[in-house]
Amino acid sequence: MKKKEEGLKTGGVLFSEKWEGQKKKKKRDV
């Protein structure tokens, strides 16, 4: 259970980082 929670946490961090990167890219393109 603990391992699964940790995995979700890392996945969420990776996802938000990726999302922020996409936002920055879009802003730069416009």
Structural domain range at position 11? 1-30
Distance CA 23, CA 8 (A): 22
Model pTM score:
0.37
Residues 1-30 pLDDT 10s: 577 777 677 777 887 888 788 888 777 766
Number of domains in the chain: 1
Distance CA 24, CA 3 (A): 32
The pLDDT value recorded for residue 28 is 73
The pLDDT value recorded for residue 30 is 64
Distance CA 22, CA 7 (A): 22
The pLDDT value recorded for residue 14 is 80
The pLDDT value recorded for residue 11 is 75
Distance CA 15, CA 21 (A): 10
